Amino acid sequence: MGNLMKPKSGISRRKFLGSTAAAAALTMVPLTYSCKGTPAAAPATVPASDKPNSNFGGVQIGAITYSWRSLPGGIENIIKYCKEAGISSIELMSGDLEEYLGAPKNPIMAFFAAMQPPPPPPPPPVKEQSAAAKARPAGPPAGGFKMPEFTAEQKAAIEKYNQDIKAWRLALPMSKVEEARKLFDDAGIGIHIVKFSPARWSDEEIDYAFKAAKTMGAKGVTDEIGEEAVKKLAPFAEKNGMYAIFHNHMQFATPGFSYDPFLAVSPAVMFNFDAGHFFGSTGLHPNTILEKYHDRIFSVHLKDKTGPNTDPPNTNQVWGQGQMPMAEVLKMIQSSKWPIYCDIELEYDVAPWSNAVKETGTCKRYAKEILVCS
């Protein structure tokens, strides 16, 4: 496995955006397009459905709902975002689900909000600025924002919340979860994972997490990879006929890191392979991991990045502007017919004139171009 800084194949951002911009300009005209962008005969009738479908060429493209963290949460909004972006399968962040189900409010969120520094005052008119002021770069004060320690009162509130949320989870009837699932089912949106990240919870709450995820139609619960987390969650996955699915960040850049010790714990252990983090931190081709572990990889997180030896290194990029070999990853999954969910994880900075839902839709179309047209 060697460094891979220039992927052999892919779709340039300029070519992709050019074709999609042209298509967008003609959205009021009932035409269909071939992969080369030439108009094809319009179908006699256009099926009326507001249900999204993001399965392209046999590969299920979805999104982790973390991608929409900059927007209002809640499952009603998640469903709205899926429809707008054309996403039919998701890895659902559990906070949105539990909020809908009536979970106690987490006070730590209010604490964090209160800790944020006040917005900077508006700059004076240009004519009043000195040359030195004009030369200063915009941004936060030197040193950045440092989060203070919680007060004794805040710590007590957090402890009470931990007790309250545990009691609420253990008392929650699964019929309420079934109601939440129906909203997604009616919208044509599948949930393949619920990211509860429950490894530090009590045993009773971990069991609740797997039961709730199963009720939502998911095949597993995700958490961050680690020896303690894997050993803690695997027995609960086995008990509930589910998978315990683990997400990587930059662990593969650590000498000697391997999936193998985690695989030995249980056949219920699966992986959410973050191909972007892998490439950005190692410079190695993600297909080396997919080839070796495809039967134990449940899902892949897709993002574009620079490699570790680029300036700047390991940095999120607009899709098509980085070096992650997206096309080769998707085409291998497609040609091998591996049943691996491929989820967009939107992490690059969104331009002020766009938003996270629009960008997720653009990423989805980029993946579709690879799977259907290349």
Please state, for a pLDDT cut of 90, what percent of the chain lies above it.
72
The predicted pLDDT at position 57 comes to: 97
Contacts of 258 (CB under 8 A, 6+ apart): none
Q: List, for residues 189-237, the tens digit of each pLDDT value.
A: 999 999 999 999 999 999 999 999 999 999 999 999 999 999 999 999 9
- Region 336-348: mean pLDDT is 98
The predicted pLDDT at position 150 comes to: 82
The predicted pLDDT at position 107 comes to: 86
Locate tokens 């190695």: which residue?
284
pLDDT at 187 over 60: yes
| 285-324: burial string, b at 16+ Cβ within 10 Å, e else | bbbebbeebbebbbbbbbbbbbbbebeeebebbbbbebbb
The predicted pLDDT at position 207 comes to: 98
The whole-model pTM stands at 0.81
Q: List, for residues 39-77, the tens digit of each pLDDT value.
A: 443 333 334 468 999 999 999 999 999 999 999 999 999
- Region 303-326: mean pLDDT is 97
Query: How far apart are the C-alpha atoms of 28 and 41, rounded to whole Å?
Result: 15
8 Å CB contact between 177 and 101: yes
Give me the residues paired with residue 302 across strands: 344
| Structural domains in the chain, sorted by start | 9-42 (no CATH), 53-110+147-373 (3.20.20.150)
* Per-state percent for the chain, helix, strand, coil, to nearest 5: 45, 15, 40
Select the more confidently predicted residue: 135 or 317.
317
- Region 335-340: mean pLDDT is 98
Select the more confidently predicted residue: 251 or 121.
251
23-32, 101-110, 264-273, 339-348: least confident range: 23-32
pLDDT at 333 over 90: yes
The predicted pLDDT at position 50 comes to: 81
Average pLDDT of the residues of the chain: 84
**How does residue 318 score in pLDDT terms, banded at 50, 70 and 90?**
very high
Query: How far apart are the C-alpha atoms of 295 and 273, rounded to whole Å?
Result: 12
Which of 101, 111, 188 is CA-nearest to residue 148? 111
